[in-house]
Copies of this chain bind each other. A is one copy, B any other.
Amino acid sequence: MKLEKVLIVDPIKGEFTGDVEIEGKKITKVSVKDYYSYDNIVMPGFVDVHTHGQKGINVMDASSEDFKKWAENNFSYGVTSFIPSTVSASKDQILKVLENSKDVGLSIEGIHLEGPFISLEKKGAQNPQYIRKPTIEELEEIITEQVKLITMAPEVENFFDVIDYLKEKNVVISLGHTNADFNLFKKAFQSGINRITHFSNALTPLHHRNIGGTGSALYLDFHLEMICDGIHLSREFVDLTYQIKGSDKIILITDSFEGAALEDGHYKLGGLDVTVKDAKAFLADGTIASSTLVFNEGVKNFKKFTNCSLQELAKVSSYNALRNLNILNKGRIETGYVANLVILDKNLDLVQTIFEGRRVF
């Protein structure tokens, strides 16, 4: 396969016109050619490391077939790698998700456990009945090779006792749903944790006498997940964060749930009732619950909110998430990399998705 006369956007080498050749699952040649114009934009396929479901599929009760459908749906939003994300649940429920997603393959890179080892005070839309402290005994059961990412609160009992175990298992720890103050964030950062879940939702606010979770995320060298649906974060908040942190430290996510890409209505999330109205998902008490965002819309929003370059957009939509999870053979448009690509028009609307060298959308 050869993509000719395109604008190539690589997160490292930047933007240039040329051709991309693909053989089998890999990119075999990238030619820089000084075209006067181009038809489409080629970027690395999008990566969503925080998503609970989509189009009627709910991670917590998805069958193997559902996971497969989810991956296929995701191609239509440009997503070529994703990490289904659980919510706080019983051990058995988590084990069921791991079992059902085990041999699906496709674009599923692993599982993200968002909870259950989080703060009750900052539970957001997580079901409080399942929130608990981590123990090595439970981790030995639920931390299989599939688990790539876990969101935890540093103030939960045992937190600092289990992080070495998680590192040994190559699980990346992300701080989230936490009431921790600056000192605790600093301690966690100094323990090697460099990541914050859906900034700055479910974190303590920036205060001028204690900068809190929000301030710590901005002040220390953390990578930040961000939901750019225009609901969770205001346009100015996204732009301010981009100006402060730069494009190397932001990881776009959807945090979507089964109601995403469907009509307004009533849905479920971790056993809780969720209403979707005007694309906004919330619990009965008004708490924002997950999102209805699809990935390519989040990418367009980020570009609109920040006026970043396309090179930067390739970082926040793909490269940063992959590197943070130590996935090194994807996320670039360069010889030898896996041919996971999106082809966009000049409005950044999705034209094609290429997954492992195959046109899948």
Q: A residues within 8 Å of B by Cβ?
A: 182, 199-201, 205-211, 214-215, 218-219, 232-234, 236-237, 239-240, 243-244
Instruction: Choose among B182, B199, B243 the residue that contacts A236 (Cβ–Cβ < 8 A).
Output: B182
A297 to B210, CA, bound (A): 21
Task: Give Cα A210 to B240, complex, Å.
Answer: 12
User: For residue A201, which residues in chain B have a CB less than 8 angstroms away from its CB?
Assistant: 208
Integer count of this chain's copies in the complex: 2
Nearest-neighbour CB distance to chain B for A220, whole angstroms, equals 9
22 A-B pairs (CB sep. < 8 Å): A199-B208, A205-B206, A206-B206, A206-B214, A206-B237, A208-B214, A208-B232, A208-B234, A208-B237, A209-B234, A209-B237, A210-B234, A211-B234, A211-B236, A211-B240, A215-B236, A215-B240, A218-B244, A219-B239, A219-B240, A243-B244, A244-B244
Q: Evaluate contact between A200 and B205: CB separation under 8 angstroms.
A: no
Minimal Cβ-Cβ distance residue in B for A233: B208
Contacts of A232 in B (CB 8 A): 208-209
Rounded to whole Å, the gap between the CB of A189 and the closest CB of chain B is: 12
Instruction: Give the CA-CA distance A211 to B233 in the complex, in Å.
Output: 9
- Judge whether B214 and A236 touch: CB under 8 Å: no
| Distance in Å: Cβ of A47 to nearest Cβ of chain B | 23
Q: How far is the CA of A244 from the CA of B208 in the complex (A)?
A: 14
Nearest chain B residue, comparing its CB with the CB of A227: B208
Residue of B nearest to A237 (CB): B208
Which residue of B has the minimal Cβ distance to A200? Answer: B208
Contact between A207 and B208, CB atoms less than 8 A apart: no
Beyond the given pairs A211-B234, A215-B236, 12 more chain A to chain B contacts, judged by CB atoms under 8 angstroms and listed by A's residue number, are: A182-B236, A201-B208, A208-B233, A208-B234, A209-B234, A211-B236, A211-B237, A215-B237, A218-B244, A219-B236, A219-B240, A243-B244
Nearest CB in chain B: distance from A224 CB, A: 11
Q: Bound state CA distance, A199 and B182, in angstroms?
A: 20
- Complex CA–CA separation, A209 to B207 (angstroms): 16
Q: Are A218 and B240 in contact (CB under 8 A)?
A: yes
Measured CB to CB, the closest approach of chain B to A185, in angstroms, equals 10
Shortest Cβ distance from residue A51 to the other chain B in the assembled complex, whole angstroms = 20
In the complex, which residues of chain B have a beta carbon less than 8 angstroms from the beta carbon of A200? 208
User: Shortest CB–CB separation between residue A319 and chain B, in angstroms?
Assistant: 24
Complex formed: what's the CA distance from A210 to B242 in Å? 16
Q: How far is the CA of A249 from the CA of B317 in the complex (A)?
A: 32
Neighbouring B residues of A243 by C-beta, 8 Å: 219, 244
Give Cα A199–Cα B209 distance, bound, in whole angstroms. 12
User: Which 5 pairs, one residue from A and one from B, show the smallest C-beta to C-beta distance?
Assistant: A219-B240, A206-B206, A200-B208, A208-B237, A211-B236
Q: In the docked arrangement, what's the CA distance between A199 and B207, Å? A: 11
Contacts of A218 on B, CB cut-off 8 Å? 240, 244
Central interface residue in A201, A211, A236, A240, by most chain B CB within 10 Å? A236
Shortest Cβ gap from A156 to chain B (Å): 23
Q: Which of A182, A200, A207 has the largest number of chain B CB atoms within 10 A?
A: A207
Contact between chains at B182 and A209 (CB < 8 Å): no
| Residue among A207, A208, A236, A243 facing the most chain B CB atoms (10 A cut-off) | A208
**Can you name the residue of chain B whose Cβ is closest to the Cβ of A239?**
B219
